[in-house]
Chains A and B, each alone.
Chain A
Amino acid sequence: MSFSVTEPSPRQKWIAGILVVFYALVTIMPLVWIIATGFKSPNDAIAYPPKVVFEPTLEGYVNLFTTRTRMSPDALEKLGPPQTWYDRIVRQYDMVISGPSRYGERFLNSVIIGFGSTFLSVFLGTLAAYAFSRFKVPLKDDLMFFILSTRMMPPIAVAIPIFLMFRQLGLSDTHLGMILLYTAVNLSLSVWLLKGFIDEIPVEYEEAALIDGYTRFQAFYKVVLPQAATGIASTAIFCLIFAWNEYAFAVLLTSGTAQTAPPFIPTIIGVGKDWPAVAAGATLFLVPVMVFTILLRKHLLRGITFGAVRK
């Protein structure tokens, strides 16, 4: 039987396991609570003491996707009985659905701007990282630090001149403006990370390809890219998470047309403290990123540690 001095003893593993599971459960509780609140009725959500057992309802989700008007009892009588299940829910409060809410639009904007800027920053980042990695670029180290330092500015500070600039160029509240902005902000991270990944790929493969007569560009495209795929995937995750969850720029530079979900979700609460609707909005917004993360979690670990491992 091989004995490893470095392998932790079963007892150690057990204790470690207990502690970690305990932390995980404590840390997941707020999240579970919010998801659960999405399925409570507004009164249940603000019940005291907080209700752990409750009757689930889709009221929060209905409120999230609709706008409603209050009507006087006589007007309601004239309308007749509610037709659909969501009408019935809303009618309980003397209200009728008067149209869709803006949540769907905002979610879509997040998708467009999030994925658009992720694609661009990974695309440009890969190109730039390849160049930094393989070629003698003058002032390479300084340029790399400069690129990293662009991330040190507080977003609010950057937003001041960007606000003025967008106003001049007519980019305020446009998808294009936000995509460009997020791309630029993400570029620093993506160039840095991707350079690390590409550095790892041995130069020999490309040199072999070049000797075979491929152009530099073809060598890049056919040899390096496939090998950098995992690195690109992890970088993409980070860029997406940033662009998806970003708030400061979105709240200052967008309004009705290009507003993404994060500035919008806190406003769902409306006048009547509709916590289930807010919780529903937050839950739905979390789903894409959560799915993405769980599927690609191995790449995530690699990506984070890459910033650490490389010099």
Chain B
Amino acid sequence: MTDETTSRSAAAAPAAFARKFRGLSDRAVAWGFIAPTIFLLLAINIFPLIWTIRLSLTNYRANRTNADVDWVGLRNYERILTDPDIWNSMQATAHFLIWTLVLQVVIGFGLAYLINKKFRGNDLWTTIIVLPMMLSPAVVGNFWTFLYQPQIGLFNYVVAFLSGVDPSSFSMIGDVNMAPWAIVIVDTWMWTPFVMLICLAGLRSIPDSIYEAAECDRATKWRQFWTITVPMALPFLMLAVLFRGIENFKMFDLVVQLTGGGPGSVTELTSINLKREAFEKWRTGYASAYAVILFVTVFGLASIYVKALNKVKER
């Protein structure tokens, strides 16, 4: 009912007024639509970030609400940048990040390439491959400790079955050398499907006509792969790397449940270290400085990467 009345009145009113009426509506609609989002993001993301920066310049401890809080300037930052434990975490995170990205890209792209061959039933198998992604990383980390147990775990048993090595002779999460690989394996198991899906989208977006033209030019399949497939799929691949890179830099739940940062501190990623400082030792000011440093690092790296990605997209 109201629609008709509005439309009749809108049509009847002078054009200028109608334009103004709709213009106001537009502005009002725009701001009305954006405002809640911006407000929520400010409240939960920006305001806390500013608060964190402020906290990082103090020696506040969240478990001592009665104690005095002193301004310490940049001392927390100094301590963090000279602390060998922090550098150890960065190293552990870098190792994790690099190897998971390499493995997931290689396997993910490979899988996408194969699935793109459109064999019969690939829909079903794709859905099966995608399942590990749906789990909660914390729950995954937890039950993989079960799978990694030297004596009763499936992983050691299968490895022993295939290679004849005694299953209790090695421990994936108990050995200092094996633990970093243990977490890489589980993360790759979980997230390769994600990279695969993105690469698949990329491969599917390449029009057949380009390949047909290449065939006419009698380019070999090998050459086609390197001059057509890879460059056109590259933006997608880089996007997948960006997403996985950011996520794995922040990685916490999977690893904390799988190894707890151990043995020793070989798998203590930066987020785990941060959690210990902030919520176990309650050195809130110190931890805030750490958080700021981490944010600046990932923001900086991501910005550079996104610029490179945009260049590749434009090609």
Decide if A137 touches B34 in the complex (CB within 8 Å). yes
User: Which residues A6-48 have CB closer than 8 A to chain B?
Assistant: 6, 8, 12-14, 16-17, 19-21, 23-24, 27-31, 33-34, 37, 45-48
A154 adjacent to chain B (CB < 8 Å): yes
CB pair B115 A16 closer than 8 Å: yes
A150, A162, A247, A301: the one contacting B197 at CB < 8 Å is A301
Whether A282 contacts B139 by the Cβ 8 Å rule is: yes
Please state if B274 and A154 are interface contacts (CB–CB under 8 Å).
yes
Q: Which residues of B contact A157 (CB under 8 A)?
A: 52, 271, 274, 290-292, 294-295
A175, chain B: closest CB distance, angstroms: 16
Set B44, B45, B151: member contacting A48, Cβ < 8 A: B151
Supposing A214-B3, A308-B236 touch, asked if A154 and B30 sit within 8 A by C-beta, the answer is no
Distance in angstroms between the alpha carbons of A247 and B140 in the assembled complex: 11
Q: Which residues of B contact A213 (CB under 8 A)?
A: 3, 6-8, 10-11
* Cβ-defined partner of B37 (8 Å) among A14, A48, A191: A191
Q: A20-B114, A127-B36, A285-B136 are in contact. Are A33 and B129 (CB under 8 A)?
A: no
Which A residues from 275 to 306 make CB contacts under 8 A with B? 275, 278-279, 282, 285-286, 289-290, 293-294, 297, 300-301, 304-305
A172 to B250 CA separation, bound complex (whole angstroms) = 23
Q: How far is the CA of A156 from the CA of B212 in the complex (A)?
A: 51
Q: Is B117 an interface residue (CB 8 A)?
A: yes
Binds B, one of A59-67, A71-79, A93-101, A215-223: A215-223
Q: Write out the residue numbers on chain B whose beta carbons fall within 8 Å of the beta carbon of A124.
A: 36-37, 40
B244-258 CB contact bits vs A (8 Å, 1 = yes)? 001001101100010
Residue interface mask B85-125, A partner, CB < 8 A = 1: 00000000000000000000001000100110111111001
Residues of A within 8 A of B147 (CB): 30, 33
CB distance from A158 to the nearest CB of B (A): 6
A108 at the interface (CB under 8 A from B): no
A49 within 8 A of B: yes
Is A241 an interface residue, CB under 8 A from the partner? yes
> Which residues of the other chain, A, contact B46 by a CB distance below 8 angstroms?
150
How many chain-A residues does the 8 Å CB contact rule pick out? 106
Task: Tell me if A131 and B11 are in contact (CB < 8 A).
Answer: no
B144 at the interface (CB under 8 A from A): yes
Q: How near does chain B come to A270, taking the closest CB pair, in angstroms?
A: 13
Interface: B152 (CB within 8 A): yes
| In the bound complex, CA of A33 to CA of B148 (Å) | 13
Among listed A80-88, A225-233, A259-267, interface-contacting one:
A259-267
List 20 additional contacts besides A16-B114, A160-B288; criterion CB under 8 Å.
A20-B129, A37-B146, A49-B157, A128-B33, A152-B295, A152-B298, A152-B299, A153-B291, A156-B271, A159-B279, A164-B51, A165-B47, A183-B40, A245-B136, A247-B252, A286-B139, A293-B134, A300-B197, A301-B197, A305-B202
* B residues at A contact (CB < 8 Å): 3, 6-8, 10-11, 22, 25-26, 29-34, 36-38, 40-41, 43-49, 51-52, 55, 62, 107, 111, 114-115, 117-122, 125, 127-132, 134-139, 142-144, 146-147, 151-154, 157, 189, 192, 194, 197-198, 200-202, 205, 208, 211-212, 215, 235-236, 239-240, 243, 246, 249-250, 252-253, 257, 270-271, 274-275, 278-279, 284, 287-288, 290-292, 294-295, 298-299, 302, 306, 313
Q: Which 7 A-B pairs have the closest CB atoms?
A: A213-B7, A305-B201, A157-B291, A184-B44, A245-B136, A161-B48, A17-B119
Can you sample 10 A-B contacts with CB below 8 Å? A5-B212, A30-B189, A154-B294, A154-B295, A159-B278, A164-B51, A180-B40, A215-B25, A244-B136, A305-B200
